[in-house]
Amino acid sequence: MCTKGNKMLRTRVIYEVGIEKQILVLKDGTEKNYPETLSNGRGNYITFEWLIRDLAGLTKAKGSDHKDSQGRKYEQKAYKDPALYPKDKDLFRISSSSTFNANNNGPKVKKLIEENRYQEALDIVKLTGYSKNDFYIFTNTGGFKTSIPLRFIIVETDIVLKHLDKKDPRLISKNVILNKIAKSKVVLI
C-alpha cells in the first residue's frame, strides 16, 4: 500500500525489477563497474534499501529501514533466491539481529527455543522487532546476481507473524512467502 507517483504498490505481490549493473562514475567521467557489490551483502545492503525506497515511494526511517507518508514502518530482509540457490535452506532470518548469536537477546532466545518454550521466545522477538514494524519487505538480494530480476514483496506484519516457523520464531519460509502469501507478480521495469 505504498504509493509511488500515481502507482500504488500493493501487499503480497511479487514485484520484479530487471537490473543490469551498478556503475561508479569518477569525476573525470571514467565509469567503473564492480559487479561484486551487488552480490555481496556488505556491498548491496544500502544500495537495495535505497532502491526499494525509490520504487515503493518510501523514506528512510529510524528504528526500521523505511517509512511511508502515513508514518507506517517497514523492515527489509533479504533471502537467497531459489532460482539461483535451489539447495539453500528454505528458512531464513527475519527477526532483529539482537535475537541471534551472542547479541543482546540471542542466548536467551536460543535457550527458550531449545527448551521448546516457543511462546516466550516469540514474545522476546516481537518486543525487539516485530512489534516495531507494520510491514516487512522481503527481497531476493542475498547473493544477488543480475542474471535474474530483483524481486521484492511487501507483507503486513500480522501476516508475517501467522507464518513464522513453528520451531523458531526468528525464521520464515521462502516457500511460504513466494507460494502461499504472494498472490500475483508484477514486472515494474
Instruction: Locate the domains of the chain by residue range.
Output: 2-187
Distance of alpha carbon 140 from its chain centroid, rounded?
8
CA 161, CA 35: separation in Å to the nearest integer?
Answer: 35
Give me the pLDDT at residue 69, please: 95
Mean pLDDT value across the chain: 94
The neighbouring-strand residues paired with 31 are 25
127 confidence band (pLDDT: 50, 70, 90): very high
Per-residue pLDDT tens over the stretch 13-36: 999 999 999 999 999 999 999 999
Which residue shows C-alpha cell 514474545? Answer: 123
Q: Is the pLDDT of residue 153 over 90?
A: yes
Q: pTM for the full model?
A: 0.94
Q: Is the pLDDT of residue 2 over 70?
A: no
Per-residue pLDDT tens over the stretch 74-98: 999 999 999 999 999 999 999 999 9
Q: Is the pLDDT of residue 55 over 80?
A: yes
1 confidence band (pLDDT: 50, 70, 90): low
CA 30, CA 7: separation in Å to the nearest integer?
Answer: 35
101 confidence band (pLDDT: 50, 70, 90): confident
Q: Is the pLDDT of residue 4 over 70?
A: no
The neighbouring-strand residues paired with 173 are 91
CA 65, CA 53: separation in Å to the nearest integer?
Answer: 9
